[in-house]
Amino acid sequence: MVRRATGTGGAGVKGARRPEVRLPPLEPWAEGELEPDGDYDGLEFRECDLTGQDGMGARFMDCALTGCAVDETALGRARVLDSLLTGLRGVGTRLAEATLRDVELVDARLGGTQLHGAVLERVVIRGGKIDYLNLREARLKDVVFESCVLVEPDFAGARLERVEFLDCALKGADFGGATLKDVDLRGAAPLEITRGLDRLSGAVISTGQLLDLAPVLAASMGIRVL
């Protein structure tokens, strides 16, 4: 189920459509290891240690992952659908070319998560902190980053459509080569962009953010301010 975002909107920018995840009664996951191309439907993964496990190409449908360790967990090309991910923690989680659709990721503590080439559609990332998030060449549509901290996220070459940053810290972001449409950055504080200022066509920022970015904009254009 999908509902329209209640975020910032206005200023001619279209708001993101949020997922509304309603899980059925879940069965506890009782197996010890993920399997490549595994099929997981209606399961609850609670406080599971998935460190280093191989779930490449797996499908998670109507699942809840709560308090799980995902250090170096291999989930490339996995499909995570209609699922709730809460309190995940780990470094180097590999989700390259994965698909996340109708997903809520809440209070995550992640570092170096690899989502390059991934597809995110109707995804909310709320709370927590993610360091060095790799979204290079990814496709984001109807994605909301809310009340979270993103340190040096990499959006290089990504396509972002109807993406919102609400009460979100965006530190050292790379938008080099990215394509933006209806991207609302007004709720990002601080808004720090180290690369790709020339790619912000299609985004909306506030007057205050423009003033904050002015020195970097001037430097990128070779303008000296004396």
* pLDDT tens by residue, 125-176: 999 999 999 999 999 999 999 999 999 999 999 999 999 999 999 999 999 9
CB of 185 closer than 8 Å to CB of 164: no
* pLDDT tens by residue, 2-15: 444 444 555 578 89
Strand partners, 69: 49, 89
Spatial separation of the C-alpha atoms in residues 141 and 158, rounded to whole Å: 11
Whole-number Cα distances in Å, 93 to 8, 178, 207: 31, 23, 37
Spatial separation of the C-alpha atoms in residues 151 and 131, rounded to whole Å: 5
Strand partners, 154: 134, 174
Which has more pLDDT, 193 or 1? 193
What average pLDDT does the chain have? 93
pLDDT of residue 150: 98
**Nearby residues of 140 by Cβ (< 8 Å), 6 or more positions away:** 120, 121, 123, 158, 159, 160, 161, 163
State the SS3 of 105-127.
EEEEEEECCECCCCEEEEEEEEE
What does the pLDDT average to over 200-219? 86
pLDDT of residue 10: 53
Bond before 36 cis per omega within 30 degrees:
no
Q: Which DSSP helix (H) or strand (E) runs through 45? A: strand 43-46
pLDDT of residue 6: 45
